[in-house]
Amino acid sequence: MCGIVGYVGEREALQIILNSLQRIEYRGYDSCGVLVQDSNEMEIHAHKSMKSIAQLKKNLSKSKYSGTVGIGHTRWATHGVPSRRNAHPHFDSDGEIAVVHNGIIENFQELKEGPLCNCIFKSDTDTEVIPHLIHQTLKKSLIKNATLKDAVRECLPHLKGSYALIVAAKGFDGLVVARKDSPLIIGVGDRENFIASDVPAVLDQTNRVIYLEEGDIAVVKKDSIYIENDAAEVKREEILIPWTIEDAEKGGYEHFMLKEIHEEPKAIIDTLRGYLSEDGLNLGLELEVSSILMVACGTSYYSALCGKYIIEHLAKVPVQVELASEFNYSDFVLNNMMVMAITQSGETADTLMALKKAKRFGCKTVAITNVVGSSATRIADDTIYVRAGPEIGVAATKSFIVQLITSYLLGLSLANMPGRELEERIADLKRMPQLAQLVIDGEDANIQKQARYLSEYDNVFFVGRGVNLPIALEGALKLKEISYIHAEGYAAGELKHGPFALLTKDTPVIAILTRDNIYEKTLVNVKEIKARGAPVIAIAETGDDEVEKYVDRVIRVPRTSAIFSPIPNTVALHLLAYWTAKARGCEIDKPRNLAKSVTVE
Ligand code: M6R
């Protein structure tokens, strides 16, 4: 989604702004823009591009602007087509106040036709109402010597919707920022400060970060940060980000996605380390629940679906799973459930809304997220952090695997099983990093071969059963998202109820064939598929020789007890999606039309 950045300090702002924007390119964008306050001319200069930030950098390489205050924006169009005129920053009529904005102003039309009807609008965006409104407020202000911050504060209540915004004004030696339902951080430096919608944008400059909270307005200058909420000054904690910039960069891999798949074993180790010690398993929260509702979107939703099987199997506690976007407008009966929101970014608008709804209904809420200090953690009563580290590729990989790990931890924490059985399960769990690594080390070459084969097709099915049904759904989502092959995930027993009509020699089927209690039944399903002429690639355990009699190709995964099989199976499917997209020459880290964090409903 859109990204915003700002800089106030003693160095030249332009390069810092452009570099910060490049660090959040992964969020996806269709146009970009920067603005610098030229200290020589006391003017503000903006530049916009429909091409890449690299191109904008090139265009500005000979620019003579010299300024130490700047802002920047990457846009992902919501109101108004992608174009230079709609790219940010946007200005008031006198060109003195400039705004970059992430979010949506829902009542922009109303404002345009009402209090701002005499203003000349130069774009089709919702954002442009903000600088006009600030300008008008400043002019009309009854407060003697009203500051830019006062004007921003006065006009924010008129905006309906969500925003993270940075306001620059001609001649002002700082920036005013504000947030509502959209993330915004301040990177704290030495005689300089940075602003961004996401931590990686500032990480090469500082790891000292302040997360602004709902309703915060801040005035950021080179040597001061003033924050207020509800018109009163507030102090916000400075957090030290444990990631290095190297963590957030590609580390020698061609794509972030491949790097992140290779980090899956480490992410599991880090997550387990946080909650498992010699003293046993401790998630750090009270877990007395009779039933759980999990809400999430996309890949996180599939991890929730898998979590249902895992928790119900291990703990016998009933779990319901809802898509956050559906739950928000449904009549779902929330009777005294613990509501868990799973979200890698902690910023997905639908998931945040679901959390808020659960709170309104008096439910105890838990956020399961990867991002320290993200919005989800502020809304929920408790947080369980998955420790995947920064995930940059738009396709979620290592965050999905540690979300699954969290379900095992939850299941075992809730389980009422004899000590010895619990120890065995924990021992199984501790083997997961090793099993994930075995897939990466031992099967990658074969997966690349199968991927080259798969890359020739336009339609693919994924099938699985039980705890591996959500893994089939995840495999299909991952493949379609980055390779643009049409892929559908199904319960293996369901194909005969309709999708069989689509099976031909040109529709390969990836079948997860774990040796579980329904292995024989899944094998029957595979035989039915073969009988319809579709080629089958099995994901099967090492040592399962039976399977080769019935399928065309096999990807091997190490043997484990069935309930833990989603871990090696997921690693294999993530690699399969990656290598298939690579064989098709796709732009893997930034798939078309997608953004890493979906901060609008
Ligand atoms: O940050 P979240 O986990 O809340 O994001 C939810 C989805 O937008 C996300 O999982 C999306 O489906 C991924 N692109 C899938 O790879």
Task: Tell whether the model's pLDDT for residue 405 goes beyond 80.
Answer: yes
Nearest 10 degrees: Cα torsion 250, 442, 476, 600 = -30
Residues 449 and 382 both lie in one domain: no
Q: Rounded mean pLDDT of 515-535?
A: 95
* pLDDT range class, residue 162, cuts 50, 70, 90: confident
Residue 437 lies in a domain: no
Residue 204 phi, psi dihedral angles, 5° rounding:
-80, -10
Whole-number pLDDT of residue 143: 61
Compute the half-sphere exposure of residue 286: CA atoms within 13 Å on the CB side of its CA: 4
* pLDDT range class, residue 5, cuts 50, 70, 90: very high
Ligand 1 pocket check: which of 299, 306, 322, 599 to mutate, most ligand atoms within 8 Å of Cβ? Answer: 299
* pLDDT range class, residue 76, cuts 50, 70, 90: confident
**Catalytic annotation, pick one of 2, 119, 306, 363:** 2
453 closest CA partner among 503, 491, 509, 492: 509
* pLDDT range class, residue 1, cuts 50, 70, 90: low
Ligand 1 pocket check: which of 325, 348, 402 to mutate, most ligand atoms within 8 Å of Cβ? Answer: 348
Question: What number does the ligand 1 atom closest to the CA of 596 have?
Answer: 14
Determine which residue's CA is closest to atom 16 belonging to ligand 1: 395
Determine which residue's CA is closest to atom 14 belonging to ligand 1: 395
Distance from the alpha carbon of residue 301 to the mean position of ligand 1, in angstroms: 8
* pLDDT range class, residue 599, cuts 50, 70, 90: confident
Whole-number pLDDT of residue 46: 83
518 closest CA partner among 473, 565, 551: 565
* pLDDT range class, residue 339, cuts 50, 70, 90: very high
Looking at residue 264, which CATH number applies to its domain?
A: 3.40.50.10490
Of residues 58 and 249, the one with the higher pLDDT is 58
Task: Tell whether the model's pLDDT for residue 44 goes beyond 90.
Answer: no
Separation CA 539–CA 554 (nearest Å): 6
Q: Which residues contact 565 (CB under 8 A, 6 or more apart)?
A: 467, 468, 514, 516, 541, 557
Domain that holds residue 557: 443-596
pTM of the predicted model as reported, rounded to 2 decimal places? 0.77
pLDDT in tens, 94-128: 999 999 999 889 899 999 999 999 999 999 999 99
Looking at residue 155, which CATH number applies to its domain?
A: 3.60.20.10
Determine which residue's CA is closest to atom 9 belonging to ligand 1: 298
Q: Rounded mean pLDDT of 431-456?
A: 97
Task: Tell whether the model's pLDDT for residue 251 goes beyond 80.
Answer: no
586 is catalytic: no
| 292 and 307 Cβ atoms separated by less than 8 Å | no
Residues 325 and 464 both lie in one domain: no
Q: Rounded mean pLDDT of 520-527?
A: 95
Residues 176 and 49 both lie in one domain: yes
Task: Tell whether the model's pLDDT for residue 40 goes beyond 80.
Answer: no
Could you count the other beta carbons within 10 Å of the beta carbon of residue 118? 8
Whole-number pLDDT of residue 502: 95
pLDDT in tens, 259-272: 999 999 999 998 99
pLDDT in tens, 345-385: 999 999 999 999 999 999 999 999 998 778 899 999 999 99
Question: What number does the ligand 1 atom closest to the CA of 369 have?
Answer: 3
Task: Tell whether the model's pLDDT for residue 584 goes beyond 80.
Answer: yes
Given 214, 245, 276, the domain boundary residue is 245
Distance from the alpha carbon of residue 302 to the mean position of ligand 1, in angstroms: 10
Whole-number pLDDT of residue 145: 65
Distance from the alpha carbon of residue 557 to the mean position of ligand 1, in angstroms: 26
Look at 31-35, 61-65, 163-167 and tell me which has the smallest mean pLDDT: 61-65
Could you count the other beta carbons within 10 Å of the beta carbon of residue 54? 12
Residues 378 and 450 both lie in one domain: no
Q: Name every protein residue with a CB atom under 6 angstroms from any ligand 1 atom.
A: 297-300, 343-345, 348, 351, 394-396, 481, 594, 597-598
Residue 436 lies in a domain: no
Given 430, 461, 481, the domain boundary residue is 430
What are the structure tokens assigned to 550, written together?
């019935």
Residues 496 and 420 both lie in one domain: no
Whole-number pLDDT of residue 225: 98
**Catalytic annotation, pick one of 48, 308, 582, 596:** 596
Determine which residue's CA is closest to atom 4 belonging to ligand 1: 343
| 526 and 538 Cβ atoms separated by less than 8 Å | yes
Distance from the alpha carbon of residue 596 to the mean position of ligand 1, in angstroms: 7
Ligand 1 pocket check: which of 297, 325, 371 to mutate, most ligand atoms within 8 Å of Cβ? Answer: 297
Separation CA 212–CA 200 (nearest Å): 16
Whole-number pLDDT of residue 49: 81
* Consecutive H or E run containing 297: none
Task: Tell whether the model's pLDDT for residue 62 goes beyond 90.
Answer: no
Residues 138 and 233 both lie in one domain: yes
Look at 74-83, 144-153, 195-204, 570-579 and tell me which has the smallest mean pLDDT: 74-83
Look at 66-80, 521-535, 560-574 and tell me which has the smallest mean pLDDT: 66-80
Residues 56 and 107 both lie in one domain: yes
* pLDDT range class, residue 202, cuts 50, 70, 90: very high
Question: What number does the ligand 1 atom closest to the CA of 396 have?
Answer: 16
Q: Rounded mean pLDDT of 469-495?
A: 97
Residue 539 lies in a domain: yes
Residues 87 and 225 both lie in one domain: yes
Task: Tell whether the model's pLDDT for residue 79 goes beyond 80.
Answer: no
Residue 601 lies in a domain: no
Exposed (0-12), middle (13-18) or buried (19+): which is 454, by Cβ within 10 Å? buried
pLDDT mean across residues, the chain = 92
Residue 467 lies in a domain: yes
Task: Tell whether the model's pLDDT for residue 440 goes beyond 70.
Answer: yes
Question: What number does the ligand 1 atom closest to the CA of 397 have?
Answer: 16
Strands across the sheet with 486-491, in order? 486-491, 459-464, 509-513, 536-541, 553-557
Whole-number pLDDT of residue 438: 98
2 is catalytic: yes
Domain count, the chain: 3
Residue 435 lies in a domain: no
267 closest CA partner among 405, 372, 383: 405
Strands (E), 242-291: 276-277, 280-281
Residues 200 and 254 both lie in one domain: no
Distance from the alpha carbon of residue 566 to the mean position of ligand 1, in angstroms: 18
Exposed (0-12), middle (13-18) or buried (19+): which is 28, by Cβ within 10 Å? buried
What three-state secondary structure class fits 515? coil
Question: Quick one: what percent of the chain has pLDDT higher than 70?
Answer: 97
Residues 410 and 449 both lie in one domain: no
Distance from the alpha carbon of residue 368 to the mean position of ligand 1, in angstroms: 13
Residue 567 phi, psi dihedral angles, 5° rounding:
-70, -60
* pLDDT range class, residue 144, cuts 50, 70, 90: low
What three-state secondary structure class fits 442? helix
Task: Tell whether the model's pLDDT for residue 65 goes beyond 90.
Answer: no
Residues 57 and 28 both lie in one domain: yes
341 closest CA partner among 356, 331, 330: 356
Given 182, 214, 245, the domain boundary residue is 245
Residues 421 and 452 both lie in one domain: no
pLDDT in tens, 459-480: 999 999 999 999 999 999 999 9
Q: Rounded mean pLDDT of 500-507?
A: 96
Distance from the alpha carbon of residue 247 to the mean position of ligand 1, in angstroms: 20
Whole-number pLDDT of residue 373: 76
